[in-house]
Amino acid sequence: MLACAKEHNPLYEDQPQYHDDGVIEPGHQAAYVRALTMNLCKEEKRPKVAAQLVREIEACGYRLNTGFLSTPFLLPVLYVAGITPLQEAPGYKAFALHPLPGGSLTHAEARYACPFGTIISGWERANGRLLYHCTVPVNTSARLTLPDGRQLNLGSGEYHFEAEYAAEAYETKSENGGKTLC
């Protein structure tokens, strides 16, 4: 999708990039949903944009305020467990796992039944530690990016990881308090 945006929009490179803290438009969940769904932010900034979307939803009392244009995109974007398909491998033959702890959530788990079996991705915060587990179905592979920055290529199997959890490493705040593009 990113390549498509560059190819069909000659002004793409001139568009403002997302701010480092993940804030796009405070109080408006739709901006974050569209940015994540349409790949309008750089891959390395997606976790901060997603974390900011979670904060926007929390600030709204866990109610959605996306409107009819962004609501269809909302559920696929709420992927705090971090399962996302890779465009180069249709049907989840290969996929990305990018768990996104943060906010007031203490755990999350998602299961997705792909043609090869069930993908599982889950995390839990406990005693200052982040516990992560995942299952990669037979004949598939996953590109895992852990919240501490470690990146691993995983083959079929069940995996468990543990790391220190420093909440401030996963929390972002807007310093200017105003409307910014991230």
Whether residue 55 is found in the same domain as residue 125:
no
Considering the domain architecture, whether residues 22 and 95 belong to the same structural domain is answered as: no
Residue 93 burial class via C-beta count within 10 angstroms: exposed 0-12, middle 13-18, buried 19 and up? middle
What pLDDT shows up at residue 68?
77
* Residues 136, 105 share a domain: yes
Mean pLDDT over residues 70-91, rounded? 76
Please check whether residues 67 and 132 belong to one and the same domain.
Answer: no
Single out the residue in 30, 45, 78 at which a domain terminates. Answer: 78
| 105-to-19, 55, 157, 177 alpha-carbon distances in Å | 24, 10, 26, 23
Confidence bin at 169 (pLDDT 50/70/90): low
Tell me, what's the pLDDT at 132?
94
The whole-number pLDDT of residue 18 equals: 53
pLDDT single digits (tens) 49-63: 888 887 887 788 767
Does any domain span residue 124? yes
Interatomic CA distance for residues 15 and 68, integer angstroms:
25
